[in-house]
Chain A
Amino acid sequence: MGILFSFFAVVALIVVVFVGVQGANLHYLFGVIIPFAAFITFIVGIVYRVFRWGKVPVPFRIPTTGGQQTSFPWIKASRIDNPSSALGVAVRMALEVLLFRSLFRNMRSELRDGPKLSYASSKWLWLGGIAFHYTFLIILIRHMRLFFEPVPGIIKIAESLDGFFQVGAPVVYVTDVVFLGAVTFLFLRRVVIPQLRYISLAADYFPLFLIGGIGVTGVLMRYFFKTDVVGIKELTMGWITFSPVVPQGIHIIFYVHLFLVSSLLAYFPMSKLMHMAGVFLSPTRNLANTNRAELHVNPWNYPVKVHTYEEYEDDYREFMKSAGLPVEKE
């Protein structure tokens, strides 16, 4: 159900563009107003969500420790997987965010007759995740050329590296190929692996279809329909100078691409995609294991009802005396 719903939701988004742009001629709406609204929703939404999380206290220091604690000088501590300093935490977080450290640990377990349970390293999800996120990032950086005039050197370098394996013209970007491959992989594993098929929700398929749709329309635009790049840049430069103009004659495929991107931006803050910001706040990763060495304060710590020693002694005084135990009151 999740798959079909998500698929048709994305199809519906595309239909909306055809109706709106080709049918009703709403170029300004689809070229300016919706992208602006989506962008604002994206920024405000993310800020709101992060602020919302930030407002909730971290009552306890609960790092998941993945290595030896810091105890004695003669025992080598695992300074990154079980950090006891701010630097250790920073490195742990950097590895987590930039290299998906925890996912890199992934192993597969297999139960055979006997019983015999064996484990094997399983890095496919890590590889797929890395490929997906990094190509997405590079593609995003390449798109920045639409917002600069002249185009900064760094973007041009990214482009030329990306197009290193030149196959005909226009240059085929490696990232485009890897990106679409990675999205397909992430989708297929949800469909093929029974565990994943069982846990996947519409909220898992929808972003995949949406992002896949953005990738496909981007590729179509670049390699097949040869859209009017000069016109598009006129539009995008208009956005950032707050003097939007909608040039005539931009291919409908561009509007589809833009609308899907707008949908992604607007959807982002209310979806699981917020893991992008959330990972930074995860208390099992971003806290140092200094629990016994430094006090961690819980802002809502409150006094609780306790069973005092005096009450205990009152209950058992005779037993205590008979056992030769000292008591406070005779």
Chain B
Amino acid sequence: MAVQKPEELSKVVYTFPSTPWMDTPVEIKKGIFCWGNKEKSLKAVGFPNPRQWSVTDEDWKLPDNWKEIFIEGLRERVDKYRSFRLFLDICVRCGACADKCHFYIGGGDPKNMPVLRAELLRSIYRKYCTTSGKIMGKVAGARELTTSVIKELWYYAYQCTECRRCSLFCPYGIDTAEITILIRELVNLLGLNIEWIAGPVANCWKTGNHMGLLPHTIIDIVSEFKEAIYQVTGLKVDLSYNRKGAEILFVHPSGEYFDPNGNVTFMGYMMLFHEIGLDVTLSTYSSEGGNFGFFTSNEMAKRLHSKIYAEAKRLKVKWILGGECGHMWRVWHQYHNTWFGPVDYLEEPVSPITGTKFENAKSNKIVHITEFTADLIRHGKLNLDPKRNDKYVVTFHDSCNTSRAMGLFEEPRYIIKNVCNNFYEMPPQTIRENTFCCGSGSGLNASENMELRLRGALPRGNAVRHVRDKFGVNTLANICQIDRATLQTLVDYWAKGVAVRGVHELVGNALVMKGEKERTTDLRGDPLPGKEGE
């Protein structure tokens, strides 16, 4: 698809149709929506209504009793989630959330204002679940559920990245992510998903990871990483898989096996583990920390993630260490323990190198890699040469999930400041808890919706460009595989000349390893500062 130039695309017109939103039927636009799920992807996990269908068709081939399924599903969920019922009940439409959404800022579609995106469902809730809505109808803000409304719900549920920025500003803490998650669950009951999510879910169910990588393929990929590390350091770094009795199980997003930016982040982990002699193993079965099931339904998320603790138990490890990923950490931090706890077959995590007890992870036994590494640095256990990263002028992109569902702000910054000499923050309104989504989260990192992604990335791109122009920033560090895989395209568009890098890639560059040869290149094979002629 030919995408407009940034100057054109950013001329966003914030106008409103002359008709009220309820009387303005949804217009499904190319470049905004993702392809609908394939029949086989739903079949693979036993999801309802598997069939071939196309978003652009008039008939979406819903089951005959679609209305009943949807309304029953809605009624069931407002009795299961206090958040959901409350958030449908108490919004006063004050509008504080309107201009907090990256999709609204960059796209201008009124139904992408978080308040209105939620009203799409609230109007149905009022009609079928409240007395005033049943009696007063439109005056009470209620409307009839039609197939056109179903299409609208589907279209806008896949234009929200569940980043929770609006929930920070809402005076009642109404979380649009919660609404989006449940709308997606409801449309999934009718067999309506997107292939970019349904495909990885099917893969993950079968092979243990979204990419569909088979065990031997993972081993092959890692031997390539070993070779690349050997070229740079002269060291033979090993990494074990499916090894019983290791102290720690390491789980990370499988995208790191696949995406070039992720590859180098993964090499950073490998070098770190080797250097400190960590007794760690990985698993080909539990080869995905990410969870596209979370973008489908609570049940699917739980089904996909059960393998992690199961594998930790089978391998008899003491605790689990987790790699750099965004939504994986939302799931691990806020859901995992509740789904599978108490996890009494594992031990409370203690760093074997520093002896630090990770008190904040004592119940679910999963430690974030940046917590682990920051602790190592703090105790002086790593020999670091930040000059090797001197060509990088770095800024840090806080990922939505680790920010607003965890509060992991200082740990990655502490690491970056120890492995890089040049670090500059983006404007405060765009970082930490105020951070903007990359525009591609929650399973929307497809290519057919590129216009949506570019629009959604405008606020982040704008902030990156600001520090690029002001401080000469050329590197956007982050701790999320979706960021690494998607932001490069988006930053190339909005803030050319900035490269996207995982934090542990920077660690790998700066790490002075015992017995290594004098390095002349960084992990990407580019010459180190001062070694350009060699």
A-B interaction: yes
Q: Which residues of A contact B (CB under 8 A)?
A: 1, 5, 49, 52-53, 56-62, 64-72, 74-78, 81-82, 84, 96, 100, 102-103, 105-109, 111, 113-117, 119, 125, 129, 189, 193-204, 270, 272, 274-275, 278-279, 281-285, 289-298, 300-301, 304-309, 312-313, 315-316, 319-320, 322-326
How far is it, in angstroms, between the C-alpha of A67 and the C-alpha of B408 when the chains are bound? 8
Closest chain-B Cβ to A267's Cβ sits at a distance in Å of: 10
Nearest B-chain residue to A2, judged by Cβ: B139
Nearest A-chain residue to B364, judged by Cβ: A292
How far is it, in angstroms, between the C-alpha of A193 and the C-alpha of B429 when the chains are bound? 23
| B242 x A325 contact (CB < 8 A) | yes
Q: Which residues of B contact A279 (CB under 8 A)?
A: 90, 171-173
How far is it, in angstroms, between the C-alpha of A275 and the C-alpha of B96 when the chains are bound? 15
| A65 x B307 contact (CB < 8 A) | no
Q: Which residues of A contact B366 (CB under 8 A)?
A: 292
| A102 x B219 contact (CB < 8 A) | no
Q: Which residues of B contact A78 (CB under 8 A)?
A: 407
- Contact string against A for B residues 238-254, beta-carbon threshold 8 Å, 1 for contact and 0 otherwise: 00011110000000000
Known interface pairs A199-B95, A199-B119; A281-B86 also in contact (CB < 8 Å): yes
- Contact string against A for B residues 159-177, beta-carbon threshold 8 Å, 1 for contact and 0 otherwise: 0000010011111111100
- Asked if B314 lies at the interface with its beta carbon under 8 angstroms from chain A, I say yes
Q: Which of B64-88 contact A (CB under 8 A)?
A: 78-83, 85-86
**Among A81, A100, A117, which residue has the most Cβ atoms of chain B within 10 A?**
A117
6 contacts between A and B (CB under 8 A): A64-B175, A102-B169, A199-B119, A274-B89, A298-B338, A326-B242
| B170 x A102 contact (CB < 8 A) | yes
Nearest B-chain residue to A69, judged by Cβ: B407
| B310 x A308 contact (CB < 8 A) | yes
| B115 x A69 contact (CB < 8 A) | no
| A64 x B167 contact (CB < 8 A) | yes
How far is it, in angstroms, between the C-alpha of A172 and the C-alpha of B502 when the chains are bound? 64
How far is it, in angstroms, between the C-alpha of A209 and the C-alpha of B410 when the chains are bound? 48
Contact of B140 among A49, A197, A202, A305 (CB under 8 A): A202
Known interface pairs A69-B407, A198-B116, A281-B86; A74-B378 also in contact (CB < 8 Å): yes
| B216 x A322 contact (CB < 8 A) | yes
Q: Which residues of A contact B285 (CB under 8 A)?
A: 309, 312-313
| B408 x A69 contact (CB < 8 A) | yes
- Contact string against A for B residues 191-214, beta-carbon threshold 8 Å, 1 for contact and 0 otherwise: 000000000000001111000001
- Asked if B403 lies at the interface with its beta carbon under 8 angstroms from chain A, I say yes
| B462 x A291 contact (CB < 8 A) | no
- Asked if B148 lies at the interface with its beta carbon under 8 angstroms from chain A, I say no
How far is it, in angstroms, between the C-alpha of A319 and the C-alpha of B220 when the chains are bound? 12
Contact of A195 among B110, B356, B403 (CB under 8 A): B110
**Among B11, B96, B371, which residue has the most Cβ atoms of chain A within 10 A?**
B96
Q: Classify the interface of chain A: helix, strand, loop or mixed.
A: loop
| B342 x A295 contact (CB < 8 A) | yes
- Asked if B350 lies at the interface with its beta carbon under 8 angstroms from chain A, I say no
Q: Which residues of B contact A298 (CB under 8 A)?
A: 338-339
| A203 x B140 contact (CB < 8 A) | yes
| B93 x A304 contact (CB < 8 A) | no
> Which one of B329-337, B416-424, B526-534 is at the interface?
B329-337
Known: A67-B433, A323-B215. 15 other contacts (CB 8 A): A49-B89, A58-B83, A69-B407, A71-B408, A75-B414, A100-B171, A111-B105, A117-B459, A274-B89, A274-B90, A281-B82, A292-B361, A292-B362, A293-B359, A320-B216
| A102 x B82 contact (CB < 8 A) | no
| A62 x B462 contact (CB < 8 A) | no
Q: Which residues of B contact A84 (CB under 8 A)?
A: 360
| B215 x A320 contact (CB < 8 A) | yes
| B94 x A115 contact (CB < 8 A) | no
Nearest B-chain residue to A77, judged by Cβ: B407
Q: Which residues of B contact A272 (CB under 8 A)?
A: 89-93
| A195 x B105 contact (CB < 8 A) | no
| A289 x B7 contact (CB < 8 A) | no
Closest chain-A Cβ to B145's Cβ sits at a distance in Å of: 18
How far is it, in angstroms, between the C-alpha of A103 and the C-alpha of B168 when the chains are bound? 9
Q: Which residues of B contact A62 (CB under 8 A)?
A: 83, 175, 178, 334, 405
| A304 x B306 contact (CB < 8 A) | yes
How far is it, in angstroms, between the C-alpha of A290 and the C-alpha of B361 when the chains are bound? 9
Across the A-B interface, how many residue pairs have beta carbons closer than 8 Å? 307
- Asked if B153 lies at the interface with its beta carbon under 8 angstroms from chain A, I say no
Q: Which residues of A contact B219 (CB under 8 A)?
A: 323-325
Closest chain-A Cβ to B354's Cβ sits at a distance in Å of: 11
| B20 x A289 contact (CB < 8 A) | no
| B363 x A294 contact (CB < 8 A) | yes
| A293 x B216 contact (CB < 8 A) | no
State the 6 A-B residue pairs at the shortest beta-carbon distance, nearest first: A115-B10, A69-B407, A284-B173, A278-B90, A323-B216, A65-B407
Q: Which residues of A contact B15 (CB under 8 A)?
A: 194
| A71 x B371 contact (CB < 8 A) | yes
How far is it, in angstroms, between the C-alpha of A324 and the C-alpha of B238 when the chains are bound? 14
- Asked if B189 lies at the interface with its beta carbon under 8 angstroms from chain A, I say no
Closest chain-A Cβ to B310's Cβ sits at a distance in Å of: 6
| A278 x B335 contact (CB < 8 A) | no
Known interface pairs A113-B11, A195-B113, A309-B307; A200-B93 also in contact (CB < 8 Å): yes
Nearest B-chain residue to A315, judged by Cβ: B206
Nearest B-chain residue to A317, judged by Cβ: B215
Q: Which residues of A contact B302 (CB under 8 A)?
A: 304
**Among B95, B175, B332, B333, which residue has the most Cβ atoms of chain A within 10 A?**
B95
- Asked if B504 lies at the interface with its beta carbon under 8 angstroms from chain A, I say no
Known interface pairs A59-B81, A316-B215; A65-B404 also in contact (CB < 8 Å): yes
Known interface pairs A57-B80, A75-B411, A292-B366; A119-B171 also in contact (CB < 8 Å): no
Closest chain-B Cβ to A249's Cβ sits at a distance in Å of: 38
- Asked if B16 lies at the interface with its beta carbon under 8 angstroms from chain A, I say yes
- Contact string against A for B residues 301-314, beta-carbon threshold 8 Å, 1 for contact and 0 otherwise: 01100110011001
| A64 x B168 contact (CB < 8 A) | yes
How far is it, in angstroms, between the C-alpha of A161 and the C-alpha of B21 when the chains are bound? 46
Nearest B-chain residue to A201, judged by Cβ: B141
Known interface pairs A75-B414, A102-B170, A320-B284; A56-B215 also in contact (CB < 8 Å): no
- Contact string against A for B residues 95-115, beta-carbon threshold 8 Å, 1 for contact and 0 otherwise: 110111000010000100101
How far is it, in angstroms, between the C-alpha of A96 and the C-alpha of B143 when the chains are bound? 32
| A71 x B411 contact (CB < 8 A) | yes
How far is it, in angstroms, between the C-alpha of A277 and the C-alpha of B306 when the chains are bound? 37
Closest chain-B Cβ to A104's Cβ sits at a distance in Å of: 9
Q: Which of B313-327 contact A (CB under 8 A)?
A: 314
Contact of A204 among B85, B92, B164, B215 (CB under 8 A): B92
| A64 x B81 contact (CB < 8 A) | no
Known interface pairs A195-B110, A203-B141, A292-B361; A325-B284 also in contact (CB < 8 Å): yes
Known interface pairs A78-B407, A199-B95, A309-B311; A292-B110 also in contact (CB < 8 Å): no
| A199 x B360 contact (CB < 8 A) | no
Q: Which residues of A contact B337 (CB under 8 A)?
A: 291-292, 295-296
Q: Which residues of A contact B48 (CB under 8 A)?
A: none
| A59 x B458 contact (CB < 8 A) | no
- Asked if B276 lies at the interface with its beta carbon under 8 angstroms from chain A, I say no
Nearest B-chain residue to A305, judged by Cβ: B303
How far is it, in angstroms, between the C-alpha of A292 and the C-alpha of B405 when the chains are bound? 12
| A325 x B82 contact (CB < 8 A) | no
| A71 x B360 contact (CB < 8 A) | yes
| A115 x B334 contact (CB < 8 A) | no
Q: Which of B268-309 contact A (CB under 8 A)?
A: 284-285, 298-299, 302-303, 306-307
Contact of B360 among A1, A65, A200, A293 (CB under 8 A): A293
How far is it, in angstroms, between the C-alpha of A203 and the C-alpha of B375 when the chains are bound? 53
- Asked if B355 lies at the interface with its beta carbon under 8 angstroms from chain A, I say no
| B433 x A102 contact (CB < 8 A) | no
- Asked if B525 lies at the interface with its beta carbon under 8 angstroms from chain A, I say no
How far is it, in angstroms, between the C-alpha of A111 and the C-alpha of B90 when the chains are bound? 30
Q: Which residues of B contact A270 (CB under 8 A)?
A: 130-132
